[in-house]
Structure 1
Amino acid sequence: MVIQIATNWKLLQFADMPCNNLTQRLKKARMLTGMSQVELANKIGISRSVLNEVEAGYRDKILRPTLLKLLTVLDKDILCDDYYRFVLEQKEKLKILVTKYGLRKLARMIGVDASSLDHWKRGDYQISRRYYDKIMELRLL
């Protein structure tokens, strides 16, 4: 009962914090845990400077491996926007699209080399927000 009240109080305390970009979402998600940047970094095994750079707005993206580490501690619903939800399922989503449209046709549709699309589909590299936005603009999913 006491834990539930404390959790609800934290949610209320930070409810008005904006979540319009990665900087704001990361800070809000971290603050809800009650952890400092140092504590969070130590807990998930990344450098505090990475967290600080994202929260300060010097980095505008995080890579999937870092995102997965953050999600072991932070609330996915707060941290992830639609783009980062896509990144978490990138391989599966792109396999579906490649099956539906074909690798070369899909690559032409979103304006990227087929080899880059193939790397994204295999999970070798993370799709950029620019190409994710193009997929969404074309309503391919």
Structure 2
Amino acid sequence: MVVQIATNWKLLQFAEMPCNNLAERLKKARMLTGMSQVELAKKVGISRSVLNEVEAGYRNKILRPTLLKLLTVLDKDILCDDYYRFVLDQEEKLKPLVEKYGLRKLARMLGVDASSLDHWKRGDYQISKRYFERILDLRLFL
């Protein structure tokens, strides 16, 4: 009961914090845990400077391995926007598109090399936000 009250109080306290970009979402998610940057960095095994740079807006992107570490502690619904939700499951989300259009045709549609698309599909590389937005623009996920 006391834990639930404390959790609800934190949610109310930080409810009005904006979540318009990665910096704001990371800061809000971290603050809801009550951890400092140093504590969070130690807990998930990343450097505090990375957290600081993201929260300050100097970095506008995190890679999937870092995201997965952060999600062991932070709320996915706060930290992840549509792009990062896609990144978490990019292999599964790209597979039906490649099956539907074929690797080369889909690559042409996105304006990317087929080899890059193949790497994204296998999870070797993280799709960039630019190409994720292109997928949305082409309405490929309807």
How far off is 1:72 after superposition?
0.2
Q: Which residue of 1 aligns with 2:112?
A: 112
- Aligned residue identity for 1:101: Y
Using the size of structure 2 for normalisation, the TM-score is: 0.99
**3-state SS, counterpart of residue 54 of structure 1:** helix
Give 4+ residue runs of structure 1 displaced > 3 Å after superposition.
none
Q: Which residue of 2 aligns with 1:20?
A: 20
Structure 2: distance between partners of 1:96 and 1:82: 18
Tell me, in whole angstroms, the C-alpha distance in 2 between the residues paired with 1:22 and 1:48: 16
Aligned residues: 141
Counterparts of 1:53-92 in structure 2, within 5 Å, are: 53-92=53-92
> d(CA) in 2 for partners of 1:64 and 1:127?
10
Residue by residue over 1:41-90, the C-alpha shift from the partner in whole angstroms, topping out at 9 and shown as x without a partner, is 00000000000000000100000000000000000000000000000000
TM-superposed CA distance for 1:96, in Å, is 1.1
Are residue 45 (structure 1) and residue 45 (structure 2) matched? yes
Deviations 1:66-121 (A, max 9, x none): 00000000000000000000000001111111001000000000100000000000
Letter in 1 for 2:10: K
Which residues of structure 1 form unaligned runs of 5+?
A: none
TM-score, reference length from structure 1: 0.99
Question: How high is the sequence identity, in percent, across the aligned residues?
Answer: 87
Distance in 2 (CA, whole Å) between partners of 1:98 and 1:104 is 9
